[in-house]
Amino acid sequence: MTLCLDLREIQSEHAPQTGGKASSLARLLQHDFHVPQGLCILTGAYRLFVDTTPLGERIRLELSRKEFRHMRWEELWDAALRIRNLFSRTAFPPEMEGVIADRIEQSIGGRPAAVRSSAIGEDSGQLSFAGLHESVLNVTGTSHILEQVKKVWASLWSDAALLYRQELGLAVEQSAMAVLVQQFVPGDVSGVIFSQSPLDPEVAVLEAVSGLAQGLVDGSVEPERWEIERHNARIHSHRSPLENRRVVAVSGGTRIVEDQGGRGESLLSNQQIQEVYTAALEAERLFGSPQDVEWTFGPAGLQILQSRPVTIKKQDRDEKRVWSLSLRRSYENLKELRVKIEGLILPGMEEAADELSWSSPGESSDRELAGQLEQRQAALDRWTDVYWSDLIPFAHGMRLFGQVYNDAVGPEDPFAFVALLRRDRLESVERNRLIRQMADHIRSRPQLRDRLLDQPLSHCDDGELLSLLEIYGLRYGNLLGLQADRNRLEEYLRALLLEMSDPERSLNVEQQPEDREEMEKQYLAGFREEDREHARELLELGRASYRIRDDDNIYLDRFKGLVREAEEVARERLRGRGTRGVDQLPGEELIEALRDPAYRPQPLVEQVEQAAPSEVDARQLLGQPASHGIATGRARVIRKPEELFGLQKGEVLVCDAIDPAMTFVAPLAAAIVERRGGMLIHGAIIAREYGIPCVTGIPQATERIANGDRLTVDGYLGIVAIDSRN
């Protein structure tokens, strides 16, 4: 079986085994274009690798955990990361490795190489799939190149590719990917040219960036741009470079650095522009259609890196998918985002919340209260938008670090890196610690505890407890920002503190991650000396991402609490006026009624959707193993936030989605089961902090499990077994 072909050996009939990219490059090379030497590892090699190792079945098992249509973006990320790890950890069958290694030696020798995907159908059709699969630049040494080949293969199952699984026709049994291994060209200036603009058939469009083309392809460097008239090859328009940055190669990848060259100087001479334009026209003639050509000027002059037909990108109408794809951020982008979040967004949220807290709804007139409610709702809406546009995408920092960590260390557990991120104190853990402090205080004073059994918290005469309660109130506001009157909230807190201070029961405590220093050393050892600083920066970014992922919700919850506080006062007043159905009225109706005493809002008729009755009983549910451990306990199903206060020590918390505000019950729970899926969501994070098992991504968890059911939660395999029904 032929596993590899040199670019010079590839013929048109090989296309199904080489993919479009390799096929085009081979044709260009055979027509005397300057194309970097190299070889194509054929799709058959991928199939052989997957079919002769346990990988094929393991990918199938991974993808069958949950139906695709039920998978959230985070779950797709997680699945892709696990598959990537499976590829990395699966050894080549020795004979196959020998054959491919020999061919790489012959073709590349000891020179640095570029390892790029050449997927079947990648560049055809109306949707362009460019960027879904991985390419790795500047890899030296045959064994390293072979490792990168596995990563490029794994990118057949990248999270982005999984989003387009239907269009790509992804199927474990049939899908395959070819890989190009070419000599790497350390380009000084690089770019792309459209031999014919998709928007104006009279011109060609040339874009160039300093350094490697990567910066242009992923959008991290703004290019210099020319339009060239096709009928006379004259420059029709020109836009100067906007920034002085360039993408350079570092070991196993690329980085953006400040360019040393003069600002504002053109990157290409007129002669070079004509040279690139001529090459693009020749490629257009060769392939018989306008071409989108990637090129670079290296030590040996102009080299063509890729040529594919110009396609008009069809707008993807799947908004959810477009949004999910927008979450994939580069290191540079995340670094800038972090500065914005830490310097502007979080302080801005704090300041805005402080400012809004100055007004006291209880002491305001109806008209003033309406204004406060409006202001608070507007602030909540605004910061919720910021949460989605900036804070959620920043979570990608954790994943970016996870991938880099897995590449450097090759751990058995693809999520082992999370232990390294747990360094800084999370706001939610700090808040939980304060609750714990109150509980410990009560526990150490049995008489106080006895009194609290039938006395409200605020009536107690214990100065220390009262001052802790005050600190708590000032720092975190009401528990959960619940929509309930103060007395009821106090009751909830009292019940929680009594449960937590029960001398018969021990509480879960935060776990100290083991060997973190050792892990960090091991991680850094995976890099060359000159790349370690960058590795440290990535770790730092990952840690910030982990911390902010949790803290941002606490910040946002302050606004929710402020809105609820004002709404509660408004409802109280309207109730006093005899307005009906006050509890169901939305905020805008409350505002209207406060401003206009004559306004009579129509009470809402609640539409309750009746689910079709089912007699099929779930016995064992499959989700994601998000925190290791096994625990058995009675289920406490949470449908409303206030039900959290009923949780008793040793029960299994079953809920739709945990947010950090809810995590104060983690010291009591035996395990956590969550409908929302993901390895890095709040439920999973907090479970790991407290060392309790957690399974996430159980569809309809709160419907399929009933209060009191006896559950075994297997946080190793992601299984929730319903041992017996209540």
Partner 1 sequence: MRNQEFLDRVGQLLDSQRVGVLATHYRNRPHQSLIAYIHSESLQDIFFVTPGYTRKVEAMTADPCVALLVDNRQNVESDFDACIAITAKGMVEELAPDPRPSFLSRYLKKHPYLEEFVFSPSCRYFRIRVQSYTLVSSFQRVEELVLE
**By CB under 8 A, residue 620 contacts partner 1:** yes
For residue 325 the two structure tokens come to: 């794809």
3-state secondary structure of 412: coil
Residue 723 is a binding residue for partner 1 (CB under 8 A): yes
Task: Find the part of the chain contacting partner 1 (CB under 8 A) among 249-257, 552-560, 674-682, 710-718.
Answer: 710-718
Nearer to partner 1, 172 or 686 (CB): 172
| Residue 58 touches partner 1, criterion: CB under 8 A | yes
Q: What is the dihedral of CA 482, 485, 486, 489, to 10 degrees?
A: -50
Applying CB under 8 A, does 630 fall inside the site for partner 1?
yes
Query: Strand order of the sheet with strand 38-41?
Result: 4-6, 38-41, 177-183, 113-119, 135-139
Among the candidate windows 21-29, 52-60, 141-149, 338-346, which touches partner 1 by CB under 8 A?
52-60
Binding footprint of partner 1, residue count (CB under 8 A): 17
622 binds partner 1 (CB under 8 A): no
Distance, CA of 573 to CA of 577 (rounded, Å): 6
Least gap, CB of 691 to partner 1 (angstroms): 14
The answer to the question of residue 719 lying near partner 1 (CB under 8 A) is yes
Asked if 714 interacts with partner 1 (CB under 8 A), we say yes
User: Judged by CB under 8 A, does residue 64 bind partner 1?
Assistant: no
Read off the DSSP letter of residue 358. Answer: T
Return the number of the residue (85 or 158) whose C-beta is nearest partner 1.
Answer: 85
The reply to whether 632 sits near partner 1 by the rule CB under 8 A is: yes
CB neighbours of 550 closer than 8 A, spacing ≥ 6? 426, 427, 428, 660, 682, 685
Q: Which of residues 537-556 bind partner 1 (CB under 8 A)?
A: none
CB of 193 to partner 1, least distance (A): 46
Least distance from C-beta 671 to partner 1, angstroms? 12
Phi-psi region of 121 (alpha: psi -120 to 50; beta: other; left: phi over 0): left
Distance, CA of 551 to CA of 660 (rounded, Å): 8
Indicate the residue among 409 and 630 with the shorter CB distance to partner 1. Answer: 630
Closer of 628 and 634 to partner 1 (Cβ) = 628
Among 378, 716, 725, 726, binds partner 1 (CB under 8 A): 716
Question: What values do phi and psi take at 342, rounded to 5?
Answer: -75, -30
> Segment near partner 1 (CB under 8 A), from 189-197, 198-206, 295-303, 709-717?
709-717
Residue 595 identity: R
CB atoms inside a 10 Å sphere around CB 408: 19
Chain centroid offset of residue 381 CA: 23
Give the number of other Cβ atoms within 10 Å of residue 188's Cβ.
15
Half-sphere exposure of 9 (CA within 13 A, CB side): 14
Question: Which is nearer to partner 1, 599 or 716 (by Cβ)?
Answer: 716
Return the number of the residue (278 or 620) whose C-beta is nearest partner 1.
620
Burial of residue 474 (CB within 10 Å: 0-12, 13-18, 19+) is exposed
Burial of 1 (0-12, 13-18, 19+ CB in 10 A): exposed
Is 95 strand, coil or helix?
helix
Tell me: does residue 525 bind partner 1 (CB under 8 A): no
Which of 9, 51, 57, 533 is in the footprint of partner 1 by CB under 8 A? 57
The binder of partner 1 chosen from 619, 639, 706, 726 (CB under 8 A): 619
Contacts of 443 (CB under 8 A, 6+ apart): 449, 500, 501, 502, 503
With tokens 């001398």, the residue in question is: 503
Is 419 a binder of partner 1 (CB under 8 A)? no
**Nearest alpha-carbon partner for 550 in 649, 432, 652:** 432
Query: Residue 717, interface with partner 1 (CB under 8 A)?
Result: yes
Report if residue 61 touches partner 1, rule: CB under 8 A: yes
375 binds partner 1 (CB under 8 A): no
Shortest gap between Cβ of 718 and partner 1 (angstroms)? 10
Per CB under 8 A, 416 contacts partner 1 = no
Instruction: Report the distance separating Cα 144 and Cα 455, nearest Å.
Output: 69
Q: Which of the stretches 64-72, 294-302, 476-484, 718-726 binds partner 1 when contact is defined by CB under 8 A?
A: 718-726
Cα separation, 250 vs 252, in Å, equals 6
Which two tokens mark 122? 């990648």
Q: If binding is defined by CB under 8 A, does position 721 make contact with partner 1?
A: yes
C-beta closer to partner 1: residue 542 or 625? 625
Which part of the chain contacts partner 1 (CB under 8 A), choosing from 57-65, 151-159, 541-549, 642-650? 57-65
CB-CB contact of 279 with 293 (8 Å): yes
Minimum Å gap between C-beta 414 and partner 1 is: 11
Half-sphere exposure in the Cβ direction for 472 (13 Å, CA) = 23
* Chosen residue from 31, 54, 98, 444 binding partner 1 by CB under 8 A: 54
Q: Smaller CB distance to partner 1: residue 189 or 720? A: 720
CA gap 385, 542 in Å, rounded: 23
Stretch that binds partner 1, among 479-487, 510-518, 596-604, 624-632 (CB under 8 A): 624-632
In whole angstroms, give the CA distance from residue 333 to residue 396: 11
Q: Does 93 bind partner 1 (CB under 8 A)?
A: no
- Name the residues that contact partner 1, by CB under 8 A: 53-54, 57-58, 61, 619-620, 628, 630, 632, 712, 714, 716-717, 719, 721, 723
